[in-house]
């Protein structure tokens, strides 16, 4: 190589404790140089504050294209909420509309994603952990529920593809989740480990299918589920068998694989051991969300700098972020989209009836 070697970020994405960075966080993030950051409702007060925070995160690591993530799906999972931001319908609303008007549902999903992207860009984000590709199975935990577009593979793919396209056209990188499929979770993986006993053949035909059809999206988030017919010892996020044989081979996903939040109770052991386990199993990047100092120190202590194929996949993702156009939709365009979306969703959803 000629010249200086390009600085490699650390293979983790970290959360932030509050609405502005503490002096400790500034020093820690500068030294650790994580691949990215993720913000939650605790980090969000108003548009000006969150924009200042995202700008500060970019400045700390000295990269304009550092991934800054947020879980902005709609429905129950919204970190940017009214009164400062739009009320966003859950994925299930688009699925319901698709029952009677599939083309309207597809158009609505795209327009909604464009509006979401405009909100996120203004707030300084470049990535959202959406769309959800998990199927909705009756009798399962509500951890997915109406976050899913439905029970039909083709419907989920059509609507999620429209969302991914809308996000990308609006300058926001999508992360599909939860690969290889979270729909059969009988308990909430934030609190316990879901155990899935369905056969591998059935899982491959149904649960894995949406991810297989959308494998070209440049990033995916793993699922903390134990698939007993595939690996009865280790949840997907920390299972080399699930990652190698299912995610990389059966599904064919070759892009950036990010763990789901390592502080969720579905995983056992210390935060340090969880970090080591997910990276050893084949996740490219370890995600830790709660912003707790001692836990973040554990994550960083067990996280190497990105290298090899993981570094290439990570660079491909950040190159996508770098390539986004910076022009903003005009106020007229945004108003037109909002009116069109309201018309399309009128048979199944009205923002004013849900507290917007």
Angle at 220 between CA 38 and CA 51, to 5 degrees: 25
Helices and strands counted in the chain (H then E)? 12, 11
Kindly report the three-state secondary structure assignment for every residue of 316-346.
Answer: HHHHHHHCCCCCCCCHHHHHHHHHHHHHHHC
Catalytic residue at 288? no
Q: Where are any strands of DSSP class E within 203-258?
A: 219-222, 226-227, 256-258
> Measuring CA to CA, which residue among 262, 254, 264 is closest to residue 279?
262
Omega within 30 of 0 (cis) for the link into 178: yes
Which one of 260, 261, 284, 288 is the catalytic residue? 260
Number of other CB atoms surrounding residue 325 within 10 Å: 8
Half-sphere exposure of 233 (CA within 13 A, CB side): 5
Which one of 17, 59, 190, 192 is the catalytic residue? 190
CA distance 90 to 201: 30
Catalytic residue at 178? no
> Measuring CA to CA, which residue among 86, 148, 154, 141 is closest to residue 118?
86
Q: Which residues are catalytic?
A: 190, 260
């Amino acid at each position: 190589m000629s010249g200086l070697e390009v600085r490699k970020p650390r293979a983790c994405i970290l959360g932030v404790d509050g609405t502005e960075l503490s002096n400790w966080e500034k020093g820690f993030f500068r030294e650790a140089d994580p691949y990215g950051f993720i913000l939650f409702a605790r980090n969000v007060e108003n548009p000006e504050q969150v924009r200042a925070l995202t700008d500060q995160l970019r400045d700390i690591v000295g990269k304009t294209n550092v991934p800054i993530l947020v879980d902005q799906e709609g429905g129950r999972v919204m970190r940017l909420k009214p009164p400062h931001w739009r009320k966003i319908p859950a994925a299930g609303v688009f699925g319901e509309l698709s029952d009677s008007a599939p083309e309207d549902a597809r158009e609505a999903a795209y327009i909604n994603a464009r509006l979401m992207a405009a909100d996120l860009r203004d707030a300084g984000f470049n990535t959202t952990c959406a769309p959800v590709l998990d199927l909705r199975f009756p009798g399962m935990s509500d951890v997915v529920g109406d976050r899913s577009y439905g029970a039909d593979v083709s419907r989920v793919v059509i609507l999620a593809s429209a969302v991914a396209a809308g996000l990308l056209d609006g300058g926001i990188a999508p992360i599909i989740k939860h690969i290889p499929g979270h729909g059969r979770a009988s308990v909430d993986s934030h609190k316990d480990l879901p155990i899935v006993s369905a056969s591998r053949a059935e899982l491959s035909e149904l649960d894995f299918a949406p991810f297989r059809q959308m494998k070209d999206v440049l990033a995916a988030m793993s699922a903390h589920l134990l698939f007993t017919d595939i690996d009865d010892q280790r949840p997907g996020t920390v299972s080399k068998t699930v990652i190698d044989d299912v995610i990389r081979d059966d599904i064919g996903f070759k892009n950036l694989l990010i763990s789901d939040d390592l502080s969720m109770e579905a995983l056992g052991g210390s935060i340090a051991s969880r970090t080591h386990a997910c990276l050893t199993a084949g996740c490219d990047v370890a995600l830790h969300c709660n912003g707790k100092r001692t836990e973040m120190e554990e994550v960083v202590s067990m996280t190497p700098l990105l290298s090899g194929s993981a570094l290439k996949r990570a660079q491909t993702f950040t190159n996508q972020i770098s390539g986004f156009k910076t022009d903003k939709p005009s106020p007229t365009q945004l108003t037109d989209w909002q009116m069109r979306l309201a018309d399309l969703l009128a048979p199944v959803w009205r923002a004013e009836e849900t507290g917007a």
